[in-house]
A and B are shown apart, each in its own frame.
Chain A
């Protein structure tokens, strides 16, 4: 409703404004001159070489270049994420060693260290939540199993952690 009302007002103003009645308008550009060439001259403040009216924009050109650079940095900063304790970012490409023996590239690809817990972490997207949820629920299977062997207890813990993380991911 607001958009339609605004368009109505704008259309009325534009249609009743005296644009076409003025002598010498629209001026247009001379057909013999290259507009692109003149834009290039104006971008670099070479106003004397330009054959079409305009003004220099060198400062604005540099400011926009800095803004684009800042946007690139901001995009890379916003795109980085933390996966199983290591930082995954576009600024690291070489295979850097980690404390647990893996590499940053392995963590990003998930080839060597792909077991149950990292999969659950990737599904939920927040490693802290998955770790906390899995840790709290993991105590229950250990308490109920009681006299089970160590191998069973560990597998039960992993399964509980994965299920909890999956359920949380489903809720979101």
Chain B
């Protein structure tokens, strides 16, 4: 007996809201990155759950692409955090108020 799709959706909503909470409350850039990853993986849970629901593999393949996109985003994000720390001595996202300094 398969797990009903509602449970997957509830789990996905919980993970997404945890990520949203992290983005809205944290000032650490690394926490920002982790929160964005949580939100992306919440979307992945939905993709895989509905892939099983419909018996179609498109959702699983799309989840793979989202993972690859998340990896690219993390690469750029950590590079930006590196520059942020080098220029401000901290990873607080509120310190950088301009696009260039």
Contacts and interface: CB of A to CB of B under 8 A. Distances in A.
B72 A70 contact: yes
Contacts of A27: 52-56
Interface in A99-135: 125-126
Interface string A2-30: 11101100110011010110000111110
A10 B13 contact: yes
A75 B78 contact: yes
A39 B75 contact: no
Nearest to A171: B89
B17 to A, nearest CB: 4
Contacts of A4: 17, 21
A17 B69 contact: no
Can you list the 7 inter-chain pairs with the closest CB atoms, starting with the nearest? A78-B79, A27-B55, A71-B72, A172-B89, A54-B57, A3-B21, A10-B13
A75 B76 contact: yes
B20 A6 contact: yes
Contacts of B89: 125, 169, 172
Contacts of A10: 9, 13, 16-17
Query: Chain A, interface size: which category?
Result: 35 or more
Interface SS of chain A: helix
Nearest to A66: B72
A71 B76 CA distance: 6
Contacts, number: 125
Contacts of A98: none
A74 B76 CA distance: 6
Interface of B: 2, 4-6, 9-10, 13-14, 16-18, 20-21, 24, 52-58, 60-62, 64-65, 68-69, 71-73, 75-76, 78-80, 82-83, 86-90
Contacts of A35: 57, 60
Contacts of A138: none
B13 A25 contact: no
B69 to A, nearest CB: 7
Contacts of B57: 29, 35, 38-39, 42, 50, 52-54
Contact of A77 (B2, B16, B68, B79): B79
Nearest to A9: B13
Contacts of A61: 65
Nearest to B23: A3
8 contacts: A20-B6, A26-B54, A53-B55, A53-B57, A54-B57, A57-B65, A71-B76, A172-B89
